[in-house]
Amino acid sequence: MSDRYLLGMDIGTSACKVVLFSVGGEIVAREGGDFHVYRPAPGWAEQDPNEWWDVAAAAVGRLIAENGVDASRIAGVGVAGQSWSAIPVDRSGNALRNTPIWMDTRAAGICREVTEAIPEDDVFEVCGNSFKPGYTTPKILWYEREEPRLFEKTHRILQSNSFVVHRLTDELSQDVSQGYGLHFFDMRRRVFDLGMAGRLGVDLGLIPPLFESHSVVGTATRGAAALTGLAEGTPVVAGGLDAACGTLGAGVTREGQSQEQGGQAGGMSICVESYRADPRLILSPHVVPGAWLLQGGTVGGGGALRWAEEELGASERAEAAARGISSFRVLDEEAERVAPGADGVVFLPYLSGERSPIWDERAKGVWYGLDYRTTRAVLIRAVLEGVAFSLRHNIETAREAGAEAGVIHAIGGGARSALWNQIKADVVGCGITASGAETATCAGAAMLAGVGVGEYRGFDEAVRAFVDEGVRYEPNLANKAVYDRRYETYLKLYERLRPIMREEEH
């Protein structure tokens, strides 16, 4: 086994994570830093790509310097990134504005206009995804209409990982796994469809060349090396979608294997080895060639719990500080004392509209069933259960589309919670494992680098080096019976409140 290292970076919504692994899959060192989400108008959610780079570069620098890492032993770098960015850059690669992120819904009006002008079935036939405001394509059209002077200066549109890859290498790229955000991307053939780009009014010249996620795009420049501590000339692969990298990092590469993510966004990915699209879900190429991911995504994953902690958890933060633990651990302990079903309280986690399977940018978050007995612990338990209900909703929709989830591999910060893992197993009714949950996305990015630079003969070898079974949570059938009833309430709440939600403006 080589004595070299692989570096995986994850540009998430709330934070950057950087992990250095041995080629044998062991964690050598880790670092990170937080990001801000800016909300300048109702329905808008933006981030500053320069902040991504500054935080990531500083994290890599600390990792190398504070751990005495010999940078010359880093064989390759992989970057995972959040979905559906639309970063306009000039000819020098400078970001011209903050990017709307995946939860931004400003382009809802443009989506309605496009679907009136172009039959939805025509678009879906090409890209396998519905035309919704969170995707990259509507954001490009929004720039052209609403910010024409900026649009004239735009040389390329980048994704989150390709922006960081550019800062590392000076090369412009578009990886295949992030192609699903572009509705002129032919999902079957993994190439761009010139005809659909023309019908949508998008100049293909705005999109950089396509790369497979494990392909080496370039090497670390002298300037990037000075900022990060990397050795000049270190190979950097294209990287990919964070959900896809996390899915690889969980060991999901074969038909029916599944991943559940508990980061800022929640959701699931089921690996399929044949094209299988459903307009209620999300289809993307896997970072593993020859496979796709049928995905369900909710805006209210770990972000819903973070919001609840920020608004309700002052006493928990104080207790956590006194005990030297995370405030989320304290919230877990409180929620665990509440019986399954949260005393009849049901939570809809639609805190910034909702993605699959309802695709409603006007959906609202709801706590239903409050009375004088309702405690903060009940509210927190209801949040955990509501996110689990959204997972079940997506998994059941995938089943209707012909994709069956087997054992689900949980990743992300939410997978640190044994209580939440058990709730999800009980709600969904299948086993859940959690192994390397916090570092799975960085692991997937590092595995891409390892395959790309030849440290592994293929993805199976990379998975064997990185992934083990971990802790497994089996469903409690008595709890599931309780959750089955609450889940029916969850579904009815949205259906009956939807007309009221649609009357409200952001």
Say if residue 240 is in the same domain as residue 307.
Answer: no
Whose CA is closest to 443, among 175, 259, 264, 178?
259
Say whether both 142 and 231 belong to one domain. yes
Question: pLDDT, tens digit, for every residue of 124-183?
Answer: 999 999 999 999 999 999 999 999 999 999 999 999 999 999 999 999 999 999 999 999
Residue 28 CA from chain centroid, whole number: 24
Please check whether residues 21 and 139 belong to one and the same domain: yes
Maximal CA-CA distance, the chain:
64
- Is 418 among the domain residues? no
Return the sign of the alpha-carbon dihedral for residues 106, 135, 364, 109.
positive
* Domain edge (last residue) among 210, 235, 250: 250
Angstrom CA distances, 449 to 161, 163, 219, 262, 416, stand at: 13, 17, 12, 24, 26
**Does 442 reside within a domain?**
no
Q: What is the pLDDT of residue 401?
A: 93
Nearest CA among 191, 203, 53 for reference residue 143: 203
Give residues with Cβ within 8 angstroms of 272, minimum separation 6. Answer: 255, 256, 291, 292, 293, 294, 403
CB distance 37 to 101 below 8 Å = yes
The sign of the CA dihedral 224, 160, 456, 180 is: negative
Whether 196 and 335 map to the same domain: the answer is no
Single residue among 187, 221, 250 that ends a domain in this structure: 250
**Cis amide leading into 357 (omega within 30):** yes
Number of domains in the chain: 2
Domain annotation covers residue 472: no
* 342 lies in some domain: yes
Are 190 and 316 within one domain? no
Give Cβ neighbours of residue 8 (< 8 Å, ≥ 6 apart). Answer: 18, 19, 20, 21, 77, 78, 79, 80, 245, 439, 441, 442, 443, 444, 445, 446, 447, 449
- Distinct helix (H) and strand (E) counts, the chain: 17, 24
State pLDDT tens for residues 10-63.
Answer: 999 989 999 999 999 999 999 999 999 999 999 999 999 999 999 999 999 999
Run of H or E residues at 121 = helix 120-127
What pLDDT, on the 0 to 100 scale, is given for residue 505? Answer: 55
Q: What is the pLDDT of residue 436?
A: 63
Q: Is the domain of 13 the same as that of 78? A: yes
463 is a domain residue: no
296, containing H or E segment: strand 292-298
Q: Please indicate, yes or no, if residue 431 is contained in any of the structural domains.
A: no
For residue 356, the SS3 value is coil
Q: Look-up: residue for tokens 């695709």?
A: 359
- Give the total residue count for the chain: 506
Q: In terms of residue numbers, what domain contains 356? A: 302-402+483-503
- Is-contact 150 97, C-beta < 8 A? yes
Q: Count CB neighbours of 298 within 10 A.
A: 27
Q: Which residue is it, tokens 């592994």?
A: 456
Beta bridge partners of 408: 258, 432
Residues 6+ apart with CB under 8 A from 362: 353, 501, 502, 504, 506
For residue 154, being part of any structural domain is answered with: yes
Helix, strand, coil content of the chain in percent (nearest 5)? 45, 20, 35
* Consecutive 10-residue averages of pLDDT for the chain (506 residues): 92 95 97 96 96 98 98 98 97 98 95 96 97 96 98 98 98 98 97 98 98 98 98 98 94 92 83 95 96 91 91 93 94 96 97 93 96 96 97 96 90 88 96 82 97 97 91 95 98 97 72
**153 in the same domain as 15:** yes
Is residue 471 in some structural domain? Answer: no
Residues 193 and 318 in one domain: no
Same domain membership, residue 85 and residue 198:
yes
Assign residue 128 the CATH number of its domain.
Answer: 3.30.420.40
Considering the domain architecture, whether residues 340 and 240 belong to the same structural domain is answered as no
What pLDDT is stored for residue 265 in this prediction?
76
CA angle 299, 417, 397 (to 5 degrees): 40
Burial class (CB in 10 A: 0-12, 13-18, 19+), 207: buried
Q: What is the DSSP string of 400-420?
A: HTT----SEEEESGGGG-HHH
Residue 155 backbone class (left: φ over 0; alpha: ψ -120 to 50; beta: rest): alpha
Does residue 242 share a domain with residue 156? yes
Q: Are residues 236 and 133 part of one domain?
A: yes
Final residue of a structural domain among 208, 233, 250: 250
